[in-house]
Amino acid sequence: MSKKVAVIGATGFVGTQVVKELESRGYSVDAIVRDISKVEQKENVVAKSIDINNIDELAEGLKGNDAVINTFNAGWTNPNLYNDFLNGSKNIEKAVEKSGVQRFITVGGAGSLFIDGKQLVDGPDFPADIKPGATAARDYLNEIKKNEILDWTFFSPAIEMHPGTAGIRTGKYRTSLESPVFDENGRSILSVEDVAVALVDELEQNNHIRERFTAAY
């Protein structure tokens, strides 16, 4: 089983929990971040300050890992969010290829999920403030589908995966491929802790090689 994993965006909302989940399962982690002062240095967590748009430097930093989990986010309030997310994601993908690491799990948005044949991001009620990021994630999903080199997986979180859903790790969830998973109340919700569980489970089980999946309660 893979025992050394690089996490890109390791101090972010999702990345922090992914690092915790990997640690709890006995993995060593290369935490790829902008600011290493935000990483709690531990015996099995090594912080590396790398610009994700520097493909050569990032490829070098990823070498020797068994897998890469990418939780990069260009910042929801970033005025150039669409371009920064799409370009950053493409550069990360190129760097993973160059590093020789085969297994790549990347986190996108829920906006590319389908309801009644239409993607959420195209709906009239989709929140305007997150639309650029969600559109970029959707467009990146279409890009990574062309990759025949990496054993990639694209994860779309539940529709409700935000700070208000934090704090609960149940270890239980249901999965789907192209449409949101809804509970008995018609909500698609998953805590960020359980997002991390789903991502590390995927790393260990390889259920979704070269496809997208989503998870919720």
Per domain, the residue ranges of the chain are 4-216
pLDDT at 41: 79
Domain 4-216 - what CATH class? Answer: alpha beta
The stretch 73-97 carries a mean pLDDT of 94
The backbone region for 206, taken as left when phi is positive above 0, alpha when psi lies in -120 to 50, beta otherwise, is left
pLDDT at 77: 85
In tens, the pLDDT along 164-202 reads: 666 789 999 999 999 999 999 999 999 999 999 999 999
pTM beyond 0.75, yes or no: yes
